[in-house]
Structure 1
Amino acid sequence: MDTIYQEIESTSEWLSKFGADCEGGITRLLYSNEWLEAQHALLEKFKLAQMRAYTDEIGNVFGQVKGSFYPDEVIMSGSHVDSVVNGGNLDGQFGIVAAYLAIKYLQDTYGQPLRTLEVVSLAEEEGSRFPTVFWGSKNILGLADNDAVSDIVDKDGIKFVDAMRQCNFDFKAKQQGRNDIKAFVELHIEQGAVLEIEKYPLGVVSSIVGQRRYTVTLKGEANHAGTTPMGYRKDTMYAFSKICHESIEKAQKVGDPLVLTYGKVTPKPNTVNVVPGETEFTIDCRHTDRKQLVDFTEELEQDINRICQEMGIEANIDLWMDEDPIPMDAELVDMICTTLDERNLHFKKMHSGAGHDAQLFAPHVPTAMIFTPSINGISHNPAEKTKTEDLTVGVKALADVLYRLAYVE
């Protein structure tokens, strides 16, 4: 595997050309020209590696090495090819590069596997162009709702359907999940700093956090900043500050793995000399345990209503995302841990605080994830970076796991 290091660098550099933007990052959005060029290039790359390369109706790209004894049992690995706007060149993309290199190495070294190996370049995960997510994996699993995307548009008013058909793809005639996938393993950068801080070269993901997201609108009274005494104000920014301070202190007392974020705050009229009569803000709360997530956020809702009632302010609380935590397959996780132990590889068993395609696969297919460290925990940013040495360890670990799954009885 001594060539893996060089192949990671050259393949990543090659794929990063598709969608490279003027700000030093990658912008490769679903059904854009840059996205289409990347998928076509990967299709040709897989063909050159003597894989059976093909696309499905909506644009997922696959490279397959047929199994000799169990051809209908597919061991799949890969990730998403789309990016955020001005993103880095590892999120999603590295999972595809890693799966391709691991499978190519296994094929070159051990020949035909017993079970079919398949790399997948998933069409979309990020939701960066259209208000929909996991379009690639949903279609593989038969979970896509075509009606839900029929009328959605991007920021330029281009319809999802028109963009898809412009790329010569279309809806599946029938939403039916594949029944040949026997395991899905996704290699991904951590997108956090835990592995780097704790000096682990690898993470084995045991679960993906559940998420609850809110948009909260507080309505008070806009008034003159100079002539309205403090005691007569219905200041929604003051109410927000009390909510934010109180809830974050509670979250800190609960501790890991609970996380709470106020990511967007919009006061109105948002000018220097007017008491803000309306403030809209978002809440993002995550936990690996469903009950604890719900208990904490329901208490948070009660606290918002209490604070606002005390201040004479109206609160509208909209819970618009409520996703359960997703455990990875325990048997597959144990097998990965055993494999890494046998290779004397130092790893941390951990949860993922971010969402991934693996969470879509997990309820339907035995699924697991492996993390490599992220320098300074940076992701969704051109500065996103991982040492090539760590990426190499990740590809080798993935190859070892895929070997066990596809070459061993």
Structure 2
Amino acid sequence: MTPRISGARLLETLERLAAFGGRPDGGVDRVAGSVEDLRARAWLAGQLRARGLVSWTDETGNVFGHTPNVRGGRLLVGSHTDTVPAGGRLDGAYGVMAALEALTTLHEQGHPAADSLEIVSFWDEEGAQPESSGGMVGSTALCAGPHLADLSAFVELHIEQGPRMELAGQELCVVDGIVGVDRHLIRVVGEANHAGTTPFSLRRDAGRVLARATAGAHDLMRSVSDTLVGNIGSLTLDPGAPNVIPGAAQLVLELRSPDEDVLTRCADLVLQHARAVAAEDGCTIEHWMLSHKPVVAFDEGIRTLLEKVCRSTGRPAGSLYSYAGHDAGVLSAHVPTAMVFVPSTRGVSHSPHEHTDDRLLTQGAQVLLEAVIAHHDSR
């Protein structure tokens, strides 16, 4: 008979973890490296030891757990327990607590799959500190270190953090991969001058160009492909004074899509529009690619295994790309990797209002346990 996780124990550990950095509004402040983050990691290590398991922490801060008789070629399962400021209690944390519950259940029942399993809480997935290098710190360090040789695959269970599953009535989704993410800096160069004494006809107003380019960019982004989302969340005027016509202005454009060509076409369209608008006002455009994260495609074999496990629940899994970044994206370049999503209520995440029904959380954790067994049996 297939072992069954304890839903009550899973939900209890989620509540106990949420107390570290818990806020009155139900959210969590547990930014990587904070006192609350360090306390939570120590608590997780203590939970592992209390359950007769081995816990160890690497030099980066990743917390690992396994049985005393663990073997090589391990399936790594987990996520992260750090949060953004005023974050939710499930993002990352759910994947770690579900991994803990799966390992505990298999160990308690003496199942042989327990000894081929290792769980992890990665350090600083979110990159929420001002001085952060962009997140995924722990998973990046793992992939550059010797422990990678002990691993055969990685599976991450996570909330979707978007509305697509709930809108489609899906309870489980096997993730195809992670979208590519491009960030562009677009700078408008005009001429600073006195705002009170310079007639409109003689202005080279970089701020006006920036505003027009920004307004037009959203319609352009929506016209390129329904697989693309984009954002302009950073606008700057120079010198930024009420009585000075901006001599320069800039925006940061972020684009996300599972299609690299779509990312390129959209950026080209936005730039063409910005240059046309700038020319009308006697300004010029400068452009830099700030960063490029390529599209990640997850391992077909692991995805197929996860799909079979999901079908066995009687609730076949949908499939989608993740539009948020995850540690799985880092691991996928080194070991066979895949992810499973459960729905997010109203698609809300990175918020105190982040929520998924208890039944769906329990079901996802049971799928994770059965995936561990299926992976063990397939070796």
Aligned mates of 1:177, 1:9 — CA distance in 2: 30
Residue 17, structure 1, aligned to residue 9, structure 2:
no
Which of 363, 366, 369 is matched with 2:336 structurally?
366
Aligned partner of 1:99: which letter? A
In the other structure, the counterpart of 2:173 is: 203
Aligned mates of 1:118, 1:209 — CA distance in 2: 27
Secondary structure of the residue aligned to 1:20 is coil
In the other structure, the counterpart of 1:138 is: 140
Instruction: Spell out, residue by residue over 1:106-158, the C-alpha distance to the aligned partner (whole angstroms, 9 max, x if none).
Output: 3334523275111101111111123222111111111xxxxxxxxxxxxxxxx
Preserved CA contact (<8 Å) 1:115 1:407: no
Aligned mates of 1:368, 1:193 — CA distance in 2: 20
Instruction: Spell out, residue by residue over 1:136-185, the C-alpha distance to the aligned partner (whole angstroms, 9 max, x if none).
Output: 1111111xxxxxxxxxxxxxxxxxxxxxxxxxxxxxxxx44521211100
Instruction: Report the Cα offset of residue 269 of structure 1.
Output: 4.8
What is the total number of aligned residue pairs between the two structures? Answer: 375
Residue 185, structure 1, aligned to residue 155, structure 2:
yes
Secondary structure of the residue aligned to 1:191 is coil
Instruction: Spell out, residue by residue over 1:189-234, the C-alpha distance to the aligned partner (whole angstroms, 9 max, x if none).
Output: 1111111111111121001011111232323234555654443332
In the other structure, the counterpart of 2:284 is: 314
Q: After alignment, is 35-44 or 105-114 more displaced?
A: 105-114
Residue 105, structure 1, aligned to residue 105, structure 2:
yes
Aligned partner of 1:95: which letter? G
Aligned mates of 1:207, 1:51 — CA distance in 2: 32
Aligned partner of 2:359: which letter? E
Aligned mates of 1:306, 1:67 — CA distance in 2: 66
In the other structure, the counterpart of 1:121 is: 121
Instruction: Report the Cα offset of residue 57 of structure 1.
Output: 1.6
Secondary structure of the residue aligned to 1:62 is strand
Secondary structure of the residue aligned to 1:262 is strand
Preserved CA contact (<8 Å) 2:225 2:262: no
Preserved CA contact (<8 Å) 2:106 2:114: no
Q: List runs of 5+ in structure 2 lacking aligned partners.
A: none
Q: 1:66 to 1:204 in 2, by over 3 A?
A: farther
In the other structure, the counterpart of 1:404 is: 374
In the other structure, the counterpart of 2:85 is: 85
CA RMSD of aligned residues (A): 2.3
Q: 1:348 to 1:66 in 2, by over 3 A?
A: farther
Preserved CA contact (<8 Å) 1:67 1:112: no
In the other structure, the counterpart of 1:238 is: 208
Aligned mates of 1:114, 1:27 — CA distance in 2: 33
In the other structure, the counterpart of 1:54 is: 56
Aligned mates of 1:337, 1:2 — CA distance in 2: 19
Q: After alignment, is 326-335 or 231-240 more displaced?
A: 231-240
Aligned mates of 1:237, 1:67 — CA distance in 2: 64
Q: List runs of 5+ in structure 1 lacking aligned partners.
A: 143-174
In the other structure, the counterpart of 1:45 is: 47
TM-score by length of 2: 0.91
In the other structure, the counterpart of 1:31 is: 33
Secondary structure of the residue aligned to 2:72 is strand
In the other structure, the counterpart of 1:150 is: none
Preserved CA contact (<8 Å) 1:114 1:408: no
Secondary structure of the residue aligned to 2:306 is helix
Residue 256, structure 1, aligned to residue 226, structure 2:
yes
Aligned mates of 2:326, 2:214 — CA distance in 1: 28
Aligned partner of 2:75: which letter? I
Identity of aligned residues (%): 32
Instruction: Spell out, residue by residue over 1:341-363, the C-alpha distance to the aligned partner (whole angstroms, 9 max, x if none).
Output: 12211422000001000000001
In the other structure, the counterpart of 2:188 is: 218
Secondary structure of the residue aligned to 2:38 is helix
In the other structure, the counterpart of 1:391 is: 361
Which of 262, 283, 292 is matched with 2:262 structurally?
292
Secondary structure of the residue aligned to 2:256 is strand
Aligned mates of 1:280, 1:119 — CA distance in 2: 44
Secondary structure of the residue aligned to 2:113 is coil
Q: 1:42 to 1:388 in 2, by over 3 A?
A: same
Aligned mates of 1:405, 1:96 — CA distance in 2: 19
Instruction: Report the Cα offset of residue 275 of structure 1.
Output: 4.1
Q: After alignment, is 359-368 or 232-241 more displaced?
A: 232-241
In the other structure, the counterpart of 1:340 is: 310
Preserved CA contact (<8 Å) 1:8 1:388: no
Instruction: Spell out, residue by residue over 1:50-97, the C-alpha distance to the aligned partner (whole angstroms, 9 max, x if none).
Output: 2111111221111113667xx211011111121111211111111101
Instruction: Report the Cα offset of residue 378 of structure 1.
Output: 1.2
